[in-house]
Structure 1
Amino acid sequence: MMSMTGTGEFLGFDVLLAVLGGAVRVGTPFLFVSLGECLTEKSGRINLGLEGVLVLSAMAGFGGSYWSGSPWIGLLIAGGSGAALALLHGLLCSLPRVSDVATGIALMLFGAGLAFYLGKPLIQPQAAQIPVIALGGWSDSPAVQSALSINALFPLGVVLAVLLQWGLANTRWGLIVRMVGDSADAARALGYPVNGVRIAATTAGGFIAGLGGASLTLVYPGSWNEGLSSGQGLIAVALVIFARWRPLACLGAALLFGGAGALGPALQSVGVTGHYYLFNAVPYALTLLILVLTCSPDRSLRGAPAELGVQR
């Protein structure tokens, strides 16, 4: 009995470590995409095209790393491609009687299609990868070492979340972004260019989201294929709502979604293979649950930029 109990505790510890490590690995793309969308929505614009941004930047970052031999060049190219697609979204949405939602869906399809077309030569090759930060050298356990091999982009995402939280609350540009998101008329009355601020915020949000795309192909899973994103860009929109448009809360929400996504592989690693695909559906079930819990008017509008609910 003691042996069985000890074995069960050991397996439970392995699963916990795998989930915690997976929360960082899987949650890193969620973190960057949600931070990018949070900044965009703070300006009063929603970008449903982030799925296309994520896929296109993942392909561009992989290609940049493959052809240059430097993953950091690939990272910059990924951010630049995400910013370019987001800039297009911002410009189109600035035209009269253009819907943010419809434009975002169109650019999601455009970005994904462009990535699939341009990325066909990149499916087989291997590109230089962004190094991981090994924090588990103090342990002889492979499980501990694996769990504590941290994506080098994750600390960057944490710093970025802190800076965004502070910047939106304590700087002049943060005040302007929030003013444009809460009342475009008030911003215009004070002489601020509403469309210009929204285009800038959308473009910057696309660059941040593009870094999340790079983490997919240059860290985990570390290769390019057409089914890479699995809807993470769209899930990030729900994640921002769950975080109440707060960058630091996006960090916690990204880790929660990352842990949910890592649950299936963690159980498989200890021999639990039954209902594997059911466990892989946990992030999508969690997304639906969050949308249901936040769909009531009093909850869904709490913390939301007022301009998101304005029909233009």
Structure 2
Amino acid sequence: MEPVDIGLWGVPLAILGGAIRVSTPFIFVSLGETITERSGRINLGLEGILVFGAMAAYAIAVMTGSPWLGVLGAAGTGAVFGLFHGWICKFPKVNDIAIGIALMLFGSGLAFFFGKPFIQPSAPDLPAISLGWWSDIPQVQAALSVNVLFLIGAALAFALWWAFRHTRAGLIVRVVGDSSDAARAMGLNPDTVRLLATAVGGAFAAVGGAYLSLYYPGSWNEGISSGQGLMAVALVIFARWNPLGCFAAALLFGGAGALGPALQSVGVTQGYYLFYAAPYILTLAIMVATSSPGRSLAGAPGELSITK
């Protein structure tokens, strides 16, 4: 079907479609980091976990022919990285931020090493649901083609928001994140809770990587992440550790990432590189606007390293 010239209406349409596509990794990584940070630990190694998850998912999908096995395999590797991070951080005087940076480099290096044989082979893509069936315009159909992982991520955001407020597990994570002493008084082991929370957070981040390699952009290469794991940490702070806020902020970041291609599609080419830098500029602007030495971070867990 031939594309139809829909003029300037193509810009918001392209931004909408791009927001859905680009936001999905941010959703999973930010939700995973929200769980980790709500337990009182920060994991800056998510970038490495994201990259390794992308490689693992692509490799497993190539070898098995199943993209969903690739997603499950990626989640497993992310959980292992999270367990490794949590195990090291339980030792006295170990800085979780420094360990996270080391894990980021370690995970990326392993992904580049083991992923070289899978740069050329083609893996099956994850399925998408067409929500644009009602239109005959190809651009509308393309913009409203929604990957299943986006819908899963949206459901998880609502589920986590509810769980933190209404379930025993959510209460345990929040208590451990706010006060280790209070958690011990309740008979909880903060190290065990943080270990499990970091493992779950790592699994979520790796699923975000699987989306990158198995759907958008849908290939494995060493530059696939573009810093999305680190940007997601800033996104969590901006969202004030609220899963629903993470979902909304991920859509905002996704829309910013789609701004450049959307404007190019209608012939706006001036400032090409600036358009593509929009997510990074937005990250910086958000962190400056929401940070102040005169006030604490609202909603921040009391045991989190950045609050001490």
For this structure pair, what is the TM-score category when the shorter chain's length is used for normalisation?
over 0.9
Give the aligned partner of residue 204 of structure 1.
Answer: 200
- Cα distance in 1 for residues equivalent to 2:94 and 2:233: 20
The aligned runs of 1:1-312 (5 Å cut-off) are 10-297=6-293, 300-309=296-305
Q: Which amino acid aligns with 2:52?
A: L
Q: Which amino acid aligns with 2:124?
A: A
Q: Which amino acid aligns with 2:202?
A: G
**Contact 2:300/2:307 (8 A) holds in 1:** no
Residue 83 of structure 1: how far off its partner (Å): 1.0
Residue 76 of structure 1: how far off its partner (Å): 0.2
Residue 291 of structure 1: how far off its partner (Å): 0.9
**Contact 1:241/1:300 (8 A) holds in 2:** no
Residue 301 of structure 1: how far off its partner (Å): 1.6
- Cα distance in 1 for residues equivalent to 2:51 and 2:296: 28
Give the aligned partner of residue 3 of structure 1.
Answer: none
- Cα distance in 2 for residues equivalent to 1:258 and 1:246: 18
TM-score (norm 2): 0.96
Residue 228 of structure 1: how far off its partner (Å): 0.5
List gaps (5 residues or longer) in structure 2. none
Count of matched residue pairs: 304
Secondary structure of the equivalent of 2:303?
Answer: helix
1:104-162 per-position Cα deviation (integer Å, ceiling 9, x unaligned): 00000000000000000111111011011111121111110111001110010011011
- Cα distance in 2 for residues equivalent to 1:188 and 1:82: 28
Cα distance change on mapping 1:240 and 1:300 into 2, 3 Å: farther
Secondary structure of the equivalent of 1:150?
Answer: strand
Residue 227 of structure 1: how far off its partner (Å): 0.4
Q: Which amino acid aligns with 1:183?
A: S
- Cα distance in 2 for residues equivalent to 1:183 and 1:70: 43
Secondary structure of the equivalent of 2:146?
Answer: strand
Secondary structure of the equivalent of 1:307?
Answer: coil
**Contact 2:15/2:262 (8 A) holds in 1:** yes
Residue 310 of structure 1: how far off its partner (Å): 7.6
Secondary structure of the equivalent of 1:302?
Answer: coil
List gaps (5 residues or longer) in structure 1. 1-6
